[in-house]
Structure formats: C-alpha cells, structure tokens
Amino acid sequence: MNSSTEILLYFEPPGRIPIVTDDRITSALGSNIAIHRTKKSTLNLRKAKIVLIGTGNPLAANQIRSYLFGLSALMAKGLVADLGNFREGKTPADTRAGLADVITELGKAGKIVVLLGTGMHLMPVVGKAYNRLEVPFNLTVVDSRIDLMSPENSDKSLYLNEMVTDPEGRLFDFCHLGHQAYLNDPLATDRLSELLFDHFRLGILRDDLREAEPVMRNSDIAFFSLSSVRQPEAPGTTFPSAIGFTGEEACQLARYAGLSDRLTLLALTDYEPARDTSGQTAGLAAQLIWFFLQGVSQRKAEYPFTDIKDYQKYTVNLAQSGHELVFFKSPLSNRWWMQVPYPDPKYQRSVIIACSLRDYQTACDGDIPDRWLNTYRRL
C-alpha cells in the first residue's frame, strides 16, 4: 500500500454532504478540502498534511462533515484531505486489520490523521498501527470515564487494559483527562497510579486548563470522547452527563492537541446522531476539529524539531532528594520542558518531556513534580 490509489480502495466516498453554514461566510472550509468524491476519482495525498477518515457509523461522520465543511476556511487548499468513510470488511477482524494497515501507512507518510465518528473500542487498532512504526508512543484520553480495570476485572475493560498489557506494545506513557469521581470505580485511578500514569480530574482542569497543554504536547495520539462535554452542550453522545467540560473548554483542549508538534492522530469518539436531534453535538464536534486544525496551522516546530540547547536553561538543586532538576524554556513560545535522567547511571542518558510553569515552581518550592517522578520511575 504505497500510493493514494491503493489507500482509497479502503474507503467509500462520503457522497453529497449538505452543508450547514452561515451565508456571511464567503470562504468555507469545505472548499479548501480535497475530497474523495467518487469511487473512480483520484486524490493526490502528497500535498495533504491532515487526513480526515470516517469510521464506524457513516451517518455520524457525515453529520460532523455537514457542520465542519461550513465553518470558516483554514489552511491552504489541499492541505486537508477527506478520504471518505472506511469500508467494513467481511468480518470485524478484517475491518480492524485494514484500518490498522491504513493508519500505519499514513503514519509512515508523515500525515496527521483525524478519525470521525469512531468509538473508543478502536483504540487498540490505533495502538497496533503505531506499534508497527517501531517507536514508543504516548496516548492521551479525554473522557469522563476511565476504562482501566484491575487484572481480575480486565474483561470489563473495553479497550485500555488491552493497550497497557499488550506484550508487544510500544505504549510508553498514558494520561487521562477529565474523569469524574462519581462515574468511576476508585480502583480505576489506583490502577493508573500503580502504572505510573498521570490523570487529571475534571475539577482540577477546570481550575487551570493550561495544565492539559503539556500533556497534549507529550502525546502522539489523543482520543477525545464527546461524552466528556456536559449534556446541555453535547446531548448526542454515548454517555451523556449533566456535568462535564464546557464547549469552550473542549475546543481549547482540541487546540492544545493541534499545537502539539508531536501529535499525529486525533480521534473524536462517542457521537450518537440518533440522540442529536438538533445537530448541536455535530456542530460542536465540527468546532473541535476546526480548533484542532487551527492549532496545527500554528505549530512552531519546537522541540524535538529544534535543539533544546537553544532554549533558556534553569537548574534546580533538590538537596534533600539528591536530584538536580533541569528545565528549559522556549524563547519563542514561553513553553517549558524538563530533563529526566535514566535511574541507572550506567546509561548516562535522559529524556526531555513537556511540562508547565507550575512544574518549575513546584521544584523551586523544594518538591519533585509528579510528572517528573512518574517518568523517572517508568524509565
């Protein structure tokens, strides 16, 4: 599978999409997107930087497209391509294998993939695709519920247990954003802590949403459940709840994902068109993608695409713990990173991870930031 023609064999064109827009928008996003319109059409993916893919229920993906294509234009023509809706195979296993193949090939080609209308159950498929790229990857999930279960209850997990227990998996780091305590078994957060994975409750992020920015900056993949948005603003979801992120907060999270120089796949999940009688949820989903695209268009190609030695360096000596913490600040964006050494000194190596100003302030107060400590222990 090394050409646009071969990749398109896996897709059905989305067909005619009724556009929901404002007549005052004279340049709509849909006019700038290269769309796979007919089975015989050709689509040159060489110019495309971002690829849209409908998975699961075609109606869900097409509903989102109706609102997305009518929003204000972003990026130059052809930088976004819509491959259409992924065809189902003869069996569910065939479908999963085919989708993994396509995502792997798009990853090798350096494309940013946006999955529309999918469910969280496809996360292991994405994990399998990234395993084939043969580099460790980081995953972030935005959801009101945590799918991770204890080993004895692993059969109740829809996707996450499979991801973290895959013996051939290359998942290095995982972070969960926006869970709500009353919707989750206490053992779920305990299990995350045991595995040294960060997690941020909804209330913590509502206090300062900027703490989610370095999480996205560290991520290769983000799965964003629309069920994490409160029901009055997103009624058409799999698990609607009266409490959740606001639409504005959800859009900011999507923009953080887009700004991440590292992130190459965003999956928008848990949209239920049958419950979305007014189209409000599809409209919000479209806006999330628009803010993601805006973030991508504003990427600054910072670390790891620039030399960290060019950044401002700050060293904090924590005498009580015996650690010297090294931080870096970009003079371009004022974003922060920190250096985490391997525990075994024989390696004489370290990793650089994204962090926040709060992490630096925590170190200055004499404490080791959780983000640093969890990474150190995983190494």
Lowest-confidence region among 21-35, 150-164, 176-190, 252-266: 150-164
Amino acid code (one letter) for 271: Y
Question: Does 151 lie in the same domain as 58?
Answer: yes
Q: Does any domain span residue 302?
A: no
Residues contacting 271, CB < 8 A, separation 6+: 60, 63, 64, 117, 226, 236, 237, 238, 281, 282, 285
* Residue located via tokens 């909804």: 202
Task: Report the C-alpha gap between 94 and 90 in whole angstroms.
Answer: 6
Number of domains observed in the structure of the chain: 2
CATH of the domain at 59: 3.40.800.10
Task: Report the C-alpha gap between 104 and 48 in whole angstroms.
Answer: 16
Question: Does 194 lie in the same domain as 339?
Answer: no
Q: Are 371 and 198 in contact (CB under 8 A)?
A: yes
Q: pLDDT tens, 270-303?
A: 999 999 999 999 999 999 999 999 999 999 989 8
Q: What percent of the chain has pLDDT over 70?
A: 97
Q: Of 271, 297, 323, which residue sits at a domain end? A: 297
Question: Does 173 lie in the same domain as 119?
Answer: yes
pLDDT (mean) for 15-34: 88
Question: Does 370 lie in the same domain as 229?
Answer: no
Q: What is the pLDDT of residue 326?
A: 94
Q: What is the pLDDT of residue 11?
A: 92
Task: Report the C-alpha gap between 37 and 131 in whole angstroms.
Answer: 31
Question: Does 31 lie in the same domain as 166?
Answer: yes
With bands split at pLDDT 50, 70 and 90, how would you rate the model's confidence at 168?
A: confident
Neighbour count for residue 305 (Cβ, 10 Å): 10
Whether the predicted pLDDT of 39 surpasses 70: no
Q: What is the pLDDT of residue 75?
A: 81
* DSSP three-state, residue 305: coil
Sheet holding 323-329, edge to edge: 312-318, 323-329, 336-341, 350-355
* DSSP three-state, residue 231: coil
Amino acid code (one letter) for 272: E
Which residue would you say has higher pLDDT here, 52 or 308? Answer: 52
Question: Does 223 lie in the same domain as 283?
Answer: yes
Q: Does any domain span residue 303?
A: no
pLDDT (mean) for 146-167: 80
Q: Of 270, 297, 324, which residue sits at a domain end? A: 297
Q: What is the pLDDT of residue 306?
A: 85
Question: Does 219 lie in the same domain as 165?
Answer: yes
Task: Report the C-alpha gap between 18 and 65 in whole angstroms.
Answer: 9
Q: What is the pLDDT of residue 41?
A: 67
Question: Does 289 lie in the same domain as 177?
Answer: yes
Q: Does any domain span residue 161?
A: yes
Question: Does 338 lie in the same domain as 292?
Answer: no
Task: Report the C-alpha gap between 86 and 83 in whole angstroms.
Answer: 8
Question: Does 328 lie in the same domain as 366?
Answer: yes
pLDDT (mean) for 328-341: 93
Question: Does 75 lie in the same domain as 8?
Answer: yes
* Residue located via tokens 């972070």: 175
Residues contacting 144, CB < 8 A, separation 6+: 178, 179, 180, 183, 202, 225, 227, 228, 239, 241, 244
Q: Does any domain span residue 283?
A: yes
Highest mean pLDDT among 4-8, 168-172, 217-221: 217-221
Q: What is the pLDDT of residue 348?
A: 66
Whether the predicted pLDDT of 164 surpasses 70: yes
Average pLDDT, the chain: 90
Q: What is the pLDDT of residue 179?
A: 94
Whether the predicted pLDDT of 87 surpasses 60: yes
pTM: 0.93
Q: Of 297, 317, 334, which residue sits at a domain end? A: 297
Q: What is the pLDDT of residue 245?
A: 97
Whether the predicted pLDDT of 2 surpasses 60: no
Question: Does 373 lie in the same domain as 225?
Answer: no
* Residue located via tokens 């090394």: 2
Amino acid code (one letter) for 134: E
Q: Which domain holds residue 58?
A: 4-297
pLDDT (mean) for 208-212: 94
Report the residue count for the chain.
379
Whether the predicted pLDDT of 18 surpasses 80: yes
Lowest-confidence region among 50-54, 256-260, 301-305: 301-305
Q: pLDDT tens, 98-133?
A: 999 999 999 999 999 999 988 888 899 999 999 999
Whether the predicted pLDDT of 344 surpasses 80: no
* DSSP three-state, residue 51: strand
Q: What is the pLDDT of residue 346?
A: 67
Q: Are 256 and 172 in contact (CB under 8 A)?
A: no
